Amino acid sequence: MGPDVVKAYLKTLPSSPGVYRMIDVQSEVLYVGKAKNLRKRVASYTKLGGHSNRIQRMIAAIAQMVFITTNTETEALLLEANLIKKLKPRYNVIMRDDKSFPYILITGNHPFPQIMKHRGARGNKGQFFGPFASAGAVNRTLNTLQRVFLLRSCTDSVFNNRSRPCLLYQIKRCSAPCVEMIDRQAYQTLLDEATAFLQGKSQRMQKNLSKLMEEASTNLDFEQAAVYRDRIRALTTIQAHQGINPQHMDEADVFAAYGEGGQTCIQVFFFRAGQNWGNRAYFPLHGKTQESATVLDSFIAQFYDNKPPPKRILLSHTIPNQAILAEALSEKADRKVTVSAPRRGERRELVEHALKNAREALARRLAESDSQRRLLEMVAQTFDLDRPPERIEVYDNSHISGAKAVGSMIVSGPDGFMKNQYRKFNIRSQEITPGDDYGMMREVLTRRFSQLIKNEDAGLLEPTAPDKAQAKKQTQWPDLVLIDGGAGQLSVAQQIFADLGVDQVALASIAKGPDRNAGREQFFVPGRQPFTLEPKSPVLYYLQRLRDEAHRFAIGSHRVRRKMALTTSPLDDVPGIGAKRKRALLHHFGSARSVKQAGLSDLKAVEGISESIAKRIYDFFQDDR
């Protein structure tokens, strides 16, 4: 174990660049690292001395190592970032909240291009502008572009089937090219102006619009002058909302890291076309003693793993792999990308602004964490727990007269709601009477905790499985289970726990008070009399939030299932009936109900339906009846 395991690998390790993985006895990846010289780098782990306590614990836990050699250190850096995001090792800096960023797309496959919000792979034809920090930033910009340039936002199918202008034309948000209210040349002019605006040429456009407004006014065309005036106002509005804007830099991402209390906030600002296109705060997972520069170094490589880098990246700290990172990103982008930590001038002002935002965001998060910790301590006191719960699971059901019943589980902990661990349970049992809340709760809890026991007995997935981290989350046991309901629901949960042998999980239920008034909820705990909390108690508000979130998630899941049911047909379940035959049957009979009631001879009369297929359809619905 530990250093001895590492020493055994040194004998055969090459001195080439590469990536290494450290794995413990449970086959869990502890750490992923890259090296210019694998032999020299791995040799530093052959002794426990000279490392922090955290790294010493990691070395002591090593049971095996896996190596991948690469041609260059640049390749090793990119591979390391990819593996860290995929495997999420315990001792690496982990970037959380890795959602794709939204872009603005002007389509390129239509005579009258559409302007739209786009998220995900950039495979569509057209021009992309972004990234924007949030969907809200994109929506505000799109709103302005509609008011200023009157470009269409409807889909091609809607465009092709319009016979008269839509409401957007009436409120002066579209030029209605769908019904030829504008010709192709004039629309192209608006499109060129919108592109120029998104490329940062808004000042030049504004001067041109001012000139056109004066000319229209001189010619007594006051209606057209008012149109130009409104466009100028819209441009001025969006420029006023940009906040801090660089004067001599058109494209850059600014990263600022601020650490305190064992946590780090990294603020990322996006500047494109000389405009501020928003910012986002990240709180990466890392060891409490790691320096901000080290955290930032690992974070940036992961950040650009699935995103195109800009021409320039500005940092608040000089990072260890700065030169190799610039080389790797340049290779990925197929153009030069500079990475620097400016010390003076406008660029330093941008970094300082981002650093201030990082400091304030971390202060808010630490305050929220402290408040959340105190709330969890109060929850522990309320339900007589030995310690504050790290994981609370809340369960609820949703249905309409028993139809399309769905159970839900939401999860909360020290960092708030853990939405990536929510689960929904489509009620499967045919033996449950429609509307039987007890029966539905029995099925949900049985499935959840039976799976937990099964996973615990079987262990986690193999170390090479890409979804191992997600599997580990699903095998975590809750400290407290909260049921939305009264004594009846609690009794069902107690019986399930007894049958499965679950005795280490605290159990409680929350029931609405008289007249369903918030603030008068009753709480039920095994072995205690029902009790209420003070109406203005912070822990009561917290438990209400948990209950309401479970209710919201249950209703949302039920609505999705109900909506899906509206778009399905009984014909979908008939073996051998594809889209073409289904279309022929519906065209012939008019509805799926008529197909179900049709005789064998009527089915054979449908074009494309052979005698054997007609017999199969007839028998299917006869058996169903």
Residue 403 has pLDDT above 60, yes or no: no
Q: Do residues 297 and 326 make contact, with C-beta atoms less than 8 angstroms apart?
A: no
Q: Do residues 334 and 274 make contact, with C-beta atoms less than 8 angstroms apart?
A: no
430 three-class SS: coil
Residue 389 has pLDDT above 90, yes or no: yes
374 three-class SS: helix
Residue with the bigger pLDDT between 616 and 293: it is 293
451, two tokens: 């799976």
Q: Which helix (H) or strand (E) holds 148?
A: helix 135-149
418, two tokens: 């853990």
Residue 382: which pLDDT band, with cuts at 50, 70 and 90?
very high
Q: At what angle do helices 73-87 and 322-333 cross, to 10 degrees?
A: 90
Q: Cis check for the bond before 131: say yes or no (omega within 30 of 0).
A: yes
- Listed residue (61, 66, 71) closest to 83, CA to CA: 66
- pLDDT tens readout for residues 346-368: 889 999 999 999 998 888 888 77
Give the pLDDT of residue 469.
Answer: 46
Residue 208 has pLDDT above 80, yes or no: no
CA dist., res. 153 & res. 185, Å (int): 18
Kindly write down the DSSP assignment for every residue of 448-498, as one continuous string: HHHHHHHHHHH-S--TT-TTHHHHHHHTPPPSEEEEES-HHHHHHHHHHHH
Residue 289: which pLDDT band, with cuts at 50, 70 and 90?
confident
Q: Quick one: CATH architecture of 251-365?
A: 2-Layer Sandwich (3.30)
Residue 288: which pLDDT band, with cuts at 50, 70 and 90?
confident
Give the pLDDT of residue 364.
Answer: 81
* Stretch 458-473: mean pLDDT: 46
Give the pLDDT of residue 612.
Answer: 85
Overall pTM > 0.85: no
- pLDDT tens readout for residues 37-89: 999 999 999 888 778 888 888 999 999 999 999 988 888 888 898 899 888 89
**Where do runs of H (alpha helix) occur along 201-243?**
202-218, 222-240
Residue 145 has pLDDT above 90, yes or no: no
Residue 32 has pLDDT above 90, yes or no: yes
CA dist., res. 517 & res. 508, Å (int): 20
Q: What are the residue ranges of CATH 3.30.420.10 in the chain?
A: 251-365
Q: What are the residue ranges of CATH 3.40.1440.10 in the chain?
A: 3-87
Pairing of strands 312-315, 115-119: unpaired
Give the pLDDT of residue 18.
Answer: 92
- The half-sphere exposure of 139 on its side-chain side, counting CA atoms within 13 A, is 3
Residue 258: which pLDDT band, with cuts at 50, 70 and 90?
very high
Residue 482: which pLDDT band, with cuts at 50, 70 and 90?
very high
Residue with the bigger pLDDT between 234 and 322: it is 322
Residue 465 has pLDDT above 50, yes or no: no
Residue 474 has pLDDT above 80, yes or no: no
Residue 266 has pLDDT above 90, yes or no: yes
CA dist., res. 301 & res. 153, Å (int): 35
Q: What are the residue ranges of CATH 1.10.150.20 in the chain?
A: 570-624
Give the pLDDT of residue 463.
Answer: 37
CA geometry: angle 236, 242, 248, nearest 5 deg: 100
Cα dihedral 254/260/261/264 (nearest 10)? 10
- What CATH number labels 570-624? 1.10.150.20
Number of C-beta neighbours around residue 138 at 10 A: 24
CA geometry: angle 431, 433, 436, nearest 5 deg: 120
Q: What are the residue ranges of CATH 3.30.420.340 in the chain?
A: 392-565
Q: Do residues 33 and 20 make contact, with C-beta atoms less than 8 angstroms apart?
A: yes
Residue 236 has pLDDT above 90, yes or no: no
Residue 535 DSSP label: T
User: How does the average pLDDT of the chain come out, rounded?
Assistant: 83
Give the pLDDT of residue 478.
Answer: 92
Number of C-beta neighbours around residue 101 at 10 A: 21
Residue 267: which pLDDT band, with cuts at 50, 70 and 90?
very high
- Listed residue (1, 36, 3, 4) closest to 20, CA to CA: 36
- Amino acid letter, 453: I
Residue 369: which pLDDT band, with cuts at 50, 70 and 90?
confident
Residue 486 has pLDDT above 70, yes or no: yes
> Is domain 392-565 annotated with CATH 2.40.50.140?
no
260, two tokens: 């305190």
Residue 27 DSSP label: S
- Residue 198 Cα to chain centre, angstroms: 26
Residue 256: which pLDDT band, with cuts at 50, 70 and 90?
very high
Of the given ranges (159-163, 279-283, 510-514), which has the lowest mean pLDDT? 510-514
- Percentage with pLDDT > 70 across the chain: 86
Q: Do residues 118 and 138 make contact, with C-beta atoms less than 8 angstroms apart?
A: no
Query: Rounded to 5 degrees, what are φ and ψ at 248?
Result: -125, 30
* Stretch 315-328: mean pLDDT: 92
55, two tokens: 């790294």
- pLDDT tens readout for residues 585-623: 877 777 777 887 888 888 888 888 888 888 888 887 775
Q: Produce one character per residue of 476-493: b if its CB has 16 or more CB atoms within 10 Å, e if not.
A: bebbbbbbbbbeebbebb
- What CATH number labels 3-87? 3.40.1440.10
* Stretch 532-547: mean pLDDT: 88
